[in-house]
Amino acid sequence: MADHVDPKLAGGITRRDLLLAGAGGLLLASGLLLVPKRYFRMPQQAQSFVTKVAHYQLDIADAITRGMRELGVAPEELKGKRILLKPNLVETASGAPHINTHPLVLRGSIEAFLRLGASAVLVAEGPGHRRDTLAVYEESGLADVLTEDRIRFHDLNYITGYELPNAGRQSSMRTLTFPALFKEVDWIVSVAKMKTHHWTGATLSMKNLFGVMPGIYYGWPKNVLHHAGIENSILDINATLKPHFAIVDGIVGMQGDGPIMGDPKHVGVLVMGRNLPAVDATCCRIMGIDPYKLSYLERADNWLGPIGEGSIEQRGEAIATVRTNFELIDTIPAQQGIRLT
Amino acid sequence: MGLLEARALPEGGFPARSGEPFRSDATAWGILSLLVFDPHHSLLGSARDRLAKAQRSDGSVSIAMDHTDAYWPTALSVLAWNGSPLHESHRHRGVQFLLETTGTQFKKEADSPTTHDPSIPGWSWIAGTHSWTEPTAVAVIALRATGHGQHDRVREAIRMMLDRQLPHGGWNYGNTLVFGRELHPMPESTGAALVGLAGQVEPGTVARSLDYLQGEVDRLRTPISLGWSLLGLAAWDLWPSNGAALVERCLANQVRYGEYDTSALCLLFLGALAGETETKNTLFLHSSRIQAPAVPAQ
């Protein structure tokens, strides 16, 4: 018997084969690393509802009630529940009501939840720019509406908080501090505004939740979240808080240099759903933005919810019938190359 | 003042709202209000003691013991201990903390979308974040009130605040232009910055901001905006003739908004009395007359 046997003849593996296999494996592995994580996730399904509402004087409560019924929100589910509505109140400027969620969308949302059996609805916000939350509440016109409707408003910026472990783990924040008020409610609803954004491309129901983080712990602006990464923080907040529903005010949105300095954009829609990434992806398509081009949505896909068109059951109006491209500014990096083709 | 007294905690200090536990910011604002109302008020000692218990070994006072990064109440606490021999060591350690602490600063990149100079040190709300208008203004107020007005940190901070002043007047939280657009001013930030700068810069340097605030004050209905605005205008001897009526209207708005929290209520109270010389002397409202200009007129 020979002392040395050619491994190839023996059906074995040569050193060259091993090296080639190793290199191939490395190539394969590195190639896999380049594939977005979403391709390895189990596909998810969600629904979103789009309804036309041409202007704020129409019956918004009816539109939202219809939408919630279409989405399977049954009275038994809401009976006796306490609902917290979180609008998008940022700051106010003369002639720029499109910065904030319109007060009549809040009124319609409140009425819809009460009609469907909620025992109480409250409205709460902690603006990121203004230290004086009540000033934004007053100047946005929301104070008039809620005072008339006898609905309580809560300033989230000064409320003592409670910590939860960061379930998203996208940023280095180990815990997130939410307002203690949240322990007293059953549903958290993001009542957002349809706007472009100069740091994230668009701000919709997920980004709106920055406003739940109390300023006393996160500052003005909520700079802790900026340092942790805006996209990371959006994902962490949503993953940890697990909001229950979203309603986006797209009756008049904001295009261009949002979220503050942009121009009004009439779209004439409300968009809603139980799953926030799906709602935001639908909003993006209405705005003519590719949701896969927004980092936080792409990362949320099939984790916090689906953003693929085929994974979202579209109820109400078809997107194509209401799509109207929002102006994007090509000198703003977050808005470059995000147009939906 | 009765409302504040009613909120006093048995162990000393004040909560943000009735029925809630101690809060450092509320207690510091409460002490400042008590000082103006009656410098010998019986609640002062226990409130200062309680605030002292909240001070950490590094001299900082945070919003809560389990949120030590949120150290922004330190400057307010320094003001609250100022003038009390029994709390001299606490005041001293608070001052040291302020002098040794800055917000994050960095060199601006050539393609930065923001216009302000991020390399000028000021103070942040929260550890590890950037310097912003109001915490910087309040730290300057505290350091000046405690005899550190000529310290390099104060001079730098004044330069930082002037750098953050909006071209058309006023301040906001601390950004000026982003992607070439000038952002909106805010009364509360403007008022705080004007208190910090009074007596340190020529009136012409802040003329547009004073114009902005004078134009705004009549329409303000909420305590934080109105309180800081009245303090800011008083610091420049411009407290409005209808100031008392504005404060009354703001107090009446509690029917609409619910009871104001302790800090907001005290800020409004101080703003209401800021036009009186005695209040100015008791508080931190330095005369707008230049004493030792830190930064020349631009």
pLDDT in tens, A71-95: 999 999 999 999 999 999 999 998 9
pTM of the model: 0.92
Q: Where are the domains of chain A?
A: 1-35, 44-335
Phi and psi (nearest 5°) for A162? Answer: -135, 145
Q: Which of A153, A198, A226 sits opposite B178 (nearest CB)?
A: A198
Residue B285 pLDDT more than 70?
no
User: Which candidate in B173, B229, B249 is best for mutational testing of the A interface (most A CBs within 10 A)?
Assistant: B173
* Cβ pair A217:B70 closer than 8 A: yes
d(Cα B87, Cα A233) in Å, to the nearest integer? 40
Give the pLDDT confidence score for residue B292 in this predicted structure. 47
Residue B74: what pLDDT?
98
For chain B, percent of residues with pLDDT exceeding 70: 94
Residue A313 CB-density burial (10 A; 0-12 exposed, 13-18 middle, 19+ buried) = middle
Q: What is the CATH number of domain A44-335?
A: 3.40.50
Please state the rounded mean pLDDT for residues B152-159. Answer: 98
Question: With contact defined as beta carbons under 8 Å apart, do B184 and A91 qualify?
Answer: yes
Res A10: pLDDT = 39
How far apart (Å, rounded) are the C-alpha atoms in residues A331 and A198? 10
Nearest to B231 by CA among B223, B9, B89: B223
The low-confidence residues of chain A, meaning pLDDT below 50, are 1-14
Euclidean distance between CA atoms B266 and B261, whole angstroms: 9
**Residue of chain B nearest A154, judged by CA positions:** B257
Check pLDDT > 50 for residue B296: no
CA distance A31 to chain B (A): 33
Q: Is B221 on the interface with A (CB under 8 A)?
A: yes
Dist CA B280 CA B231 (whole Å): 9
How much is the pLDDT for A30? 60
- pLDDT of residue B35 exceeding 60, the answer is yes
Average pLDDT over residues B179-205: 97
Confidence of residue B1 (pLDDT cuts 50, 70, 90): confident
A175-233 pLDDT per residue, tens: 999 999 999 999 999 999 999 999 999 999 999 999 999 999 999 999 999 999 999 99
Q: Which pLDDT band, with edges at 50, 70 and 90, does B280 fall under? A: confident
Q: Provide the shortest C-alpha distance from residue B2 to chain A (in Å).
A: 22
Beta-carbon separation of B186 and A91 below 8 A: yes
Identify the H or E element spanning A121: strand A120-125
Nearest to B257 by CA among B217, B222, B289: B222
Please, what is the average pLDDT of chain B? 94
Average pLDDT over residues B190-218: 97
pLDDT of residue A7: 38
Contact A163, A255 (CB under 8 A): no
Give the pLDDT score at B260.
97
Average pLDDT over residues B25-29: 98
Predicted local confidence at residue A24, as pLDDT: 57
Q: DSSP class of residue A301?
A: B
Residue B77 has pLDDT above 60, yes or no: yes
Confidence of residue B293 (pLDDT cuts 50, 70, 90): very low
Minimum CA–CA partner of A134 in chain B? B222
Q: What single DSSP character describes residue A284?
A: H
Residues on chain A touching B175 (C-beta within 8 angstroms)? 221
Contact assessment for residue B177 and residue B210, using Cβ atoms and an 8 Å cutoff = no
* pLDDT for the residue numbered A40: 76
